[in-house]
């Protein structure tokens, strides 16, 4: 399983190389974001070309693929990256692959986790890495899809569902796990304390003036006219 992690995803190439060197070839690949790209290219037999492209990728060349746009649904239109994937994959679909592959995406609006397992491979990859605000979402199967890392950054569940008995997971964000802790009391809040003190002060003022109001009210409640005696 190849998890999401942006540029860290180049490490997936080394993991796959090591597995192949030991005679381990997966029957199922489930990938999220950059994991979907590397996994899909590996399944399509394009891992060598992708590795060569990565090794030649300088900062200047990387910026050349970022076609910034104004007024769209993403900061980067992603057209250049899509064309690069299409050049490598052509019209290859999931059905053309020699193994079962799933690209994980998130449905906009519902937040549902979508497993892309059919259709054009390049479109599925684009949907899986469409980070909100950066890349525009992709319309596939009548659903607007975006980055799968939002719902399943390490798609072990998808691999199990596709029939994998032994799962090898590559987590690119393991250093971010285990840093959290539980804080049962978030501590004092000066603004809350000030508002609470003001409410108590207002309550106390109302308590002081309440007897005076009742005393004045008793006079206003008496009849003003004279009562004639028979």
Query: Which comes out higher in pLDDT, residue 157 or 222?
Result: 157
Among this protein's residues, is 33 annotated catalytic? Answer: yes
Q: Give Cβ neighbours of residue 93 (< 8 Å, ≥ 6 apart).
A: 118, 119, 120, 121
Q: Give Cβ neighbours of residue 211 (< 8 Å, ≥ 6 apart).
A: none
Q: Give Cβ neighbours of residue 15 (< 8 Å, ≥ 6 apart).
A: 2, 170
Query: 27, 122, 147, 228: which is the annotated catalytic residue?
Result: 147
> In the predicted model, is pLDDT for residue 187 greater than 80?
no
pLDDT in tens, 10-68: 899 999 999 999 999 999 999 999 999 999 999 999 999 989 988 887 877 776 666 56
> In the predicted model, is pLDDT for residue 114 greater than 60?
yes
Of 14-23, 66-75, 86-95, 182-191, the range with the highest mean pLDDT is 14-23
Query: 27, 33, 91, 192: which is the annotated catalytic residue?
Result: 33
Write down the mean pLDDT value for the chain.
80
Of 58, 15, 59, which Cα lies nearest the Cα of 34?
15
pLDDT band at 107 (very low <50, low <70, confident <90, very high): very high
Half-sphere exposure of 166 (CA within 13 A, CB side): 4
> In the predicted model, is pLDDT for residue 97 greater than 60?
yes
Neighbours of 77 (CB within 10 A): 16
First and final C-alpha spacing in the chain: 105
pTM: 0.70
Rounded CA-CA distance 35/169 in Å is 11
Rounded CA-CA distance 48/116 in Å is 24
Q: Where are the beta strands (DSSP E) in the chain?
A: 28-32, 100-107, 113-116, 138-140, 143-147
> In the predicted model, is pLDDT for residue 159 greater than 70?
yes
| Cα 82 versus chain centre, distance | 21
What is the DSSP code string of 69-110? -SSSSBSB--HHHHHHHHHHHTT-BGGGSSSEEEEEEEETTT
What per-residue confidence (pLDDT) applies to 220? 52
Among this protein's residues, is 147 annotated catalytic? Answer: yes
- CB distance 104 to 158 below 8 Å: yes
> In the predicted model, is pLDDT for residue 94 greater than 90?
yes
Mean pLDDT is lowest, of 51-65, 111-125, 172-186, for 172-186
> In the predicted model, is pLDDT for residue 123 greater than 70?
yes
Q: Give strand pairing partners of 103.
A: 31, 116
What per-residue confidence (pLDDT) applies to 227? 47
Query: Which comes out higher in pLDDT, residue 201 or 158?
Result: 158
Of 159, 211, 143, 137, which Cα lies nearest the Cα of 35?
159
Rounded CA-CA distance 33/148 in Å is 6
């Amino acid at each position: 399983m190849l998890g999401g992690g942006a540029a860290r995803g180049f490490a997936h190439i080394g993991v796959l190389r090591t597995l192949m060197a030991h005679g381990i070839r997966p029957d199922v690949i489930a990938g999220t974001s950059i994991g979907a790209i590397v996994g899909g290219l590996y399944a399509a037999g394009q891992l060598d070309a992708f590795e060569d492209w990565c090794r030649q990728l300088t900062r200047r060349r990387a910026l050349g693929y970022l076609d910034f746009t104004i007024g769209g649904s993403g900061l980067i239109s992603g057209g250049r990256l899509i064309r690069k994937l299409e050049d490598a994959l052509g019209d290859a679909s999931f059905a053309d692959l020699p193994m079962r592959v799933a690209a994980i995406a998130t449905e906009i609006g519902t937040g549902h986790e979508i497993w892309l397992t059919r259709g054009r491979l390049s479109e599925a990859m684009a949907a899986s890495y469409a980070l909100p605000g950066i890349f525009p979402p992709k319309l596939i199967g009548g659903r607007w899809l975006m980055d799968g890392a939002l719902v399943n950054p390490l798609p072990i569940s998808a691999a199990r569902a596709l029939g994998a008995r032994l799962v090898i997971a590559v987590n690119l964000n393991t250093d971010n796990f285990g840093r959290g802790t539980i804080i049962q009391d978030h501590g004092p809040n000066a603004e809350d304390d000030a508002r609470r003190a003001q409410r108590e002060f207002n309550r106390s003022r109302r308590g002081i003036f309440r007897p005076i109001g009742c005393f004045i009210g008793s006079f206003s409640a008496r009849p003003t006219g004279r009562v004639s005696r028979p």
